[in-house]
Structure 1
């Protein structure tokens, strides 16, 4: 099936389609935040910080579709029983896709914060979403209004279903909540720390984990039946094996622990390149585990032994700043390199490329999906405006941005960053002075 859509260059599409069978799957321009596998085990769907969802052929390693619709990171994906799949995003929207189509079949809107988790009811009739607006929602897939589940005090980070169709949610308020099928609060269990993940097994067992790096096993009445300490890094994703006997727990430290439910024993640990593992899923026959993480790869593992399937590239991704070793500006830029490239020929990442930034109007990189707020602004990026961005922070200087909030308090560090960007993005002089008149323009409407 060809990759379609004007947003994919011919070269990038070709590279995706020729990946060899059993190789680790590379295609995202940012960390792989979410994974789901279809019921026949043939396809995987991944969501990334680069705002894309990718459909993969697991046995071939080929990307079958690269889909760009969302105006933010794709934090959650789910495979639907009828062959469709869903993607949930930082932009608060949920898109329903049909394989082979480049635009969503349907868009579900209602959340006022990022969507963090998706789950499908056992009978396939309802899609549940968890979001940072403090709610979860139940969306009838046949159509109709969503039911809103309210009660969490803070971000709702994860959602799952019990075998009888009751939803289960977990949130930053350190609670696991069990709801009726109609969306009424029924059971609340308060745990010791903020929760990032929840999973339900076929026999109704509940697992929850989060900031304190401990996986806790709960009964349907909310009581704790056992716990497994993994430490030191927070657990950020959970996935039960198809037969319910094991739980895979992925951590921000870059490992995945395989836990035997009956004994609480850690059978083995999958060790990757040391970057966070954001997502984990099982093939339906239980033979393989699939992970996605900060190295931007989708990886396959033998679920019986923990051995990688295909080459396991242990080194971290190539250091884009190696040529600038020792430069203070390059060290300051390390906080940005995960989301932004310096040259136009690098693979796309979560943020727009910075190639040619000085003299460019805000929200002007072709093919990148900017927020409406940024498109409405009248700012030209110059050494002065970029410095001001990091002096006061993106939230104040460019309200409505999806850029993580960060400031550079040191004027010397801001100057070093400007000199580095001037040299590395378009060859301008290392003192940060532009060589054309438009790059010295400071927008008079920008904040003082």
Structure 2
């Protein structure tokens, strides 16, 4: 079923936006689980007043939600890769950052970004807003972090990490903090290049900074470490065996939420430190987490995004899900092809590609009507420029060749994960299945 988003494109800013959200809240019940992304929800941020959230997905889209109603207010499509990070800017704008190396600044209701920051040469993995609201920081897999003045001008480039920079944050005094695959946390001066470097036992994927300046860092070894603003390690808390993917500090600084690849979110009392309770969902990775305050500023909810493609709300005091925990899963697109070897091969593709034209794009474009279609021509899907320049028409022969040599060789510049099908019989079975499953009336 197509998700209808009737508010997309409306020029809603300032009092008009507030009025609309209030009207929606009166007119329909809130949905505690929000469905709209076509792939895992990779990133989340919530406005200070708790009324809006922005999410980023593996489907290359960002969505602005009205949390009081669970309504998608705007779908932001610009990026040519997964949206790995999002941020709320103090002037009411939103930022999205992607695997395509670009950062887009949006005004709700705008069909295109107001500004694009595009000097990174690798995927952007993290964003953070300076405490005074004047700058946006980005962490990228080109080995750098950058500090972008929001009023314009050149970015400050932070170099020194040996490999991917996965996360970035700001201390209350405005100093940037970065962390990366080189198992270091680096605390940078407000000006200059001499960072304080703290080495930890494994790669760091996530950072959070509390209001008093303590740094929480976590990653591959499933341990959250607490560092002073000067880099001294105060303590550590092991959370199990699943890597920590995301961290978020509560606005009051007393608690921390740690999301894991195992599908749980640990709510941590920071002073001890100890786990107060865990949010336990469907068992799929939880990629993103954020705290939500009510109109009085009291933090009463957690918002999470995960591998089930949903944005979920939870009671921050008890860990109980708000609304039903389980939602009906989409119909199994392959159920009608039980026993078909080609359908079994396609099982690795179904997370990224739909077969039904009404479902629209996921992380990749729909395959409905595939054969006879020129490459990079599905409407409303953003392809890389490299694919747009190719002269390929999808036929049984070209699809088979794609999986014989792999996407990187056959379609250079694609963002499709590299995969090959070694057995000719399996390639033939896949093609026969696609001929049946993608045919449109």
Give the TM-score taking structure 2 as reference length.
Answer: 0.91
Distance 1:288 1:48 in 2: 21
> For 2:42 and 2:78, how far apart are their aligned partners in 1?
16
2:220 corresponds to which of 211, 216, 224: 211
Residue 276 of structure 1 corresponds to 285
Picking from 169, 176, 183, the partner of 1:167 is 176
Partner Cα separation in structure 2 for residue 309 and residue 162 of structure 1: 32
Secondary structure of 1:345's counterpart equals helix
Instruction: Give the direction of change, closer, same or farther, for the CA distance of 1:335–1:185 in structure 2 (3 Å limit).
Output: farther
**1:366 has 2:379 as partner:** yes
Q: Deviations over 1:223-278 (max 9, x none)?
A: 32221212222111100111111111111111111111112221111111111111
* Greater than 3 Å deviation, 4+ residue runs: 16-20, 314-318
Two-structure CA RMSD over aligned residues (Å) = 1.9
The whole-number CA distance in structure 1 between the counterparts of 2:427 and 2:321 is 42
Can you give the 5+ residue segments of structure 2 that lack an aligned partner in the other structure? 1-5, 11-23
The answer on 1:39 being equivalent to 2:53 is no
Aligned residues of 2:361 and 2:381 also touching (Cα < 8 A): no
Distance, in Å, in 1 between the alignment partners of 2:226 and 2:331 is: 39
- Contact kept, 8 Å, 2:42 with 2:58, in 1: the verdict is yes
In structure 2, the residue matched to 1:253 is 262
- Structure 1 residue 402 corresponds to structure 2 residue 407: no
Cα offset for 1:315? Answer: 6.4
Partners of 2:64 and 2:113 lie apart in 1 by 14
**Contact persistence 2:42–2:55 (CA under 8 A):** yes
Shift, 1:22, TM fit: 3.4
SS at 2:438's partner residue? helix
Partner SS for 1:283? strand
Contact kept? 1:361, 1:380, Cα under 8 Å: yes
Contact 1:147 1:183 survives alignment (8 Å): no
- CA–CA distance in structure 1, aligned partners of residues 359 and 258 of structure 2: 32
Task: Report matched runs for 1:33-432 at 5 Å.
Answer: 33-182=42-191, 184-284=193-293, 285-313=298-326, 317-426=330-439
Deviates more, 1:120-129 or 1:376-385: 376-385
The number of residues matched between the two structures is 418
Question: Does the CA-based 8 Å contact 1:19-1:62 persist in structure 2?
Answer: no
Superposition deviation, residue 322 in structure 1? 2.3
What is the aligned partner in structure 1 of residue 7 from structure 2?
2
Q: Deviations over 1:151-201 (max 9, x none)?
A: 111111110001100011111111111111125232111111111111111
Distance 1:109 1:345 in 2: 33
For 1:12-45, what per-residue CA distance to the aligned partner results, in whole angstroms no more than 9, with x for missing partners? xxxx999741331111111111111111111001
**TM norm structure 1:** 0.90
With over 3 angstroms needed to count, the CA separation of the structure-2 counterparts of 1:232 and 1:92, relative to structure 1, is: same
Q: Identify unmatched segments of 5+ residues in structure 1.
A: 6-15, 429-448
Q: Deviations over 1:45-75 (max 9, x none)?
A: 1111111111111111111111111122111
- After superposition, give the CA deviation of every residue in 1:361-383 in whole Å (9 maximum; x if it has no partner): 11111221110000001111112
Determine whether 1:29 maps to 2:52. Answer: no
Q: SS of the residue aligned with 2:386?
A: helix
